[in-house]
Structure 1
């Protein structure tokens, strides 16, 4: 286990990170705390890239593998602070738990990375083979894996550890996520004479009904490639006696291993082609949503909302090496998959880098009112990250 001094260090760092509100695009305060801490802890280099990702590196005395610990430093907003039992940015401790937005998702893990890496370097006097990288990643809540592309091109890691909540279990995969946009185009007219126009919403209703009959793809481990309607908008809005000439529906598509941008849209496009052949007045289009956000650095981050799924075999050597090391330290990790999307969509899904998740706390605490992290989980995960370094940097 970590000694008492290091346990206190990780708790204090977690609190400092929580006390800096860091909604997506406004991570500068927490990035500053992280950058300062990495320098104070003796990291060999600290880099802030064009998006504002903070990357710290410790080099071993011998050449070897590069391991990257990835944790996002942005959080979802707090909609109503009065609903919280304790202030969401005070990082107060009650009954062995630190309360605040981002405790479980996922500043606790980031504090654990930094503390574990510094402790490992100190204990080994840097006499290890390889390099340790710790990344505080921006804009993950908007774009899983987009800012991470910049990090992996800079670091070129051999292994990636995603610190998303896993209750100290090892996560070797996840479904990905695609945001699919359906559009129908009608013809406006006065709503007193609807027969003179084409109502885009009625056309969309026909498309939505047909899509519900599509058979979802399936994977024996990851489950169904769900396609679920999440919002619908018409224009002009408000209508003010006008038949809508445009309608846009957004779908959340959960992606399975091996699914591509083309393979996901193909059945939907085939369905639209069939419906348009049957109804000459129906004009419809399908595409992926494109996100565009401003970074705190002033640069723009943009990307199509398609974040692939990924899955490794639990018998893979790097998974088993980590599992055996943790078991030797007295932990009992299960090997499972994440239920949600992570930056692993880029590292594993796009770049094919050996990736697994290992984080503190429960997955269902993310984005909740009264979010917290148990101090016991925080200190244990820091110990586990130390074990991961021992396992993979031999």
Structure 2
């Protein structure tokens, strides 16, 4: 049985599986087939939770005597959108002008394809690594992230699995392969403000209370002043209002309720608890100062609802992991990567509770876009980086 040493062939097989969240789409089956000739044991647990879709995941292990390296990622992808807008079909893995087109090409089936190829080349040239390698692959990263990596880690840890380090193959490079390694992420938390008023006719405002007046004041209190100016390792904390709504199609009706939803990306000046306390304090002060209608004495009646789970801020400082990967990147690309904490969240936020974790993968310029694609040269280069890292880290 031939080894999966060609990253382009590996990626084509994965792209042709329409694994739009939460569907497995054949992607985990294709990956299992690549890992079998390398000697991996493969398990595919399905996790469920009320109110969320069931999700199939994959945990594969190649056991050896020595340190244990985890490669983590996801085979689920976002929907392709209007397939007619694509230059090449989103699940065909067609190649044009030296690039492979397809949903998931960079986010992040490409990273998985390259790591498998790198491991296969390592086995062919040197034999099995002097330690253990596991792949922790979810089908729920692009979805609610409830039945995926978090539960897969708990499941594996309960079986006695421990890891010494992890690489997440997300597309971390902004312009060129070798630009950046992600060594941490800002935290993330979302909430919704609900302001209640009194519905009425716009011609008789004294008989109503317009909640929009109060909501504007509360939102302004969250936007100004800035939360901080950033830290040595992280960008400034930032709050963005993502939607404001009154649910009112009529132009002559004062609404009875107004809502605003926001997201905060916070740095290591804060924890989830302290940033929540700061938001509450700002809203309380603004509510006491603001009124729904001139002449009213009551403060703004509001409710704050936190949405989903907060993602904590984290920073990895493991010297061996960062130094070895940085050296591998420089050896292959000639560029020493920046150590970055920018961007959104990833499943590294779950992994950091189990072992040191960094992120390094392809260039992310086309992820989630129509005509998502990856240069074949980048696939080969990333494979060589991963192969060099495997040799150096296990050495």
TM-score tier after normalising by the smaller chain length: 0.7 to 0.9
Work out whether residues 43 and 57 of structure 1, in 8 Å CA contact, stay in contact via their aligned partners in 2.
yes
Provide the residue aligned with 1:301 in structure 2: none
Distance 2:146 2:100 in 1: 28
TM-score (norm 1): 0.84
Work out whether residues 34 and 54 of structure 1, in 8 Å CA contact, stay in contact via their aligned partners in 2.
no
Matches within 5 A, 1:138-217: 138-143=139-144, 147-153=148-154, 154=156, 155-165=161-171, 166=173, 167-168=177-178, 169-217=180-228
Aligned: 1:14 with 2:16: no
Distance 1:287 1:214 in 2: 22
TM-score (norm 2): 0.84
2:112 to 98, 110, 113: 110
What whole-Å deviation, never above 9, does each CA across 1:354-375 have from its counterpart, x for those lacking one? Answer: 1111112x22221122111111
Q: Secondary structure at the match of 1:378?
A: helix
Distance 1:246 1:191 in 2: 15
Work out whether residues 189 and 242 of structure 1, in 8 Å CA contact, stay in contact via their aligned partners in 2.
yes
Structure 2: tracts of 5 or more residues without a match: 48-54, 292-297
Provide the residue aligned with 1:80 in structure 2: 82
Q: 1:74 to 1:192 in 2, by over 3 A?
A: farther
Q: 1:189 to 1:70 in 2, by over 3 A?
A: same
Work out whether residues 18 and 25 of structure 2, in 8 Å CA contact, stay in contact via their aligned partners in 1.
no
Distance 1:319 1:213 in 2: 37
Q: 1:326 to 1:73 in 2, by over 3 A?
A: same
**What's the CA shift for 1:14?**
0.4
1:323 to 318, 323, 326: 326
Count of residues paired in the alignment: 368
**What's the CA shift for 1:282?**
0.9
**What's the CA shift for 1:383?**
1.9
2:39 to 34, 38, 42: 42
> What value does the CA root-mean-square deviation take over the aligned residues?
2.6
Q: Secondary structure at the match of 2:246?
A: strand
Matches within 5 A, 1:222-241: 222-235=234-247, 237-239=248-250
Aligned: 1:262 with 2:273: yes
Q: 1:128 to 1:317 in 2, by over 3 A?
A: closer
Distance 2:329 2:87 in 1: 35
Provide the residue aligned with 1:30 in structure 2: 27
Provide the residue aligned with 1:98 in structure 2: 100
Structure 1: tracts of 5 or more residues without a match: 291-303
**What's the CA shift for 1:146?**
7.0
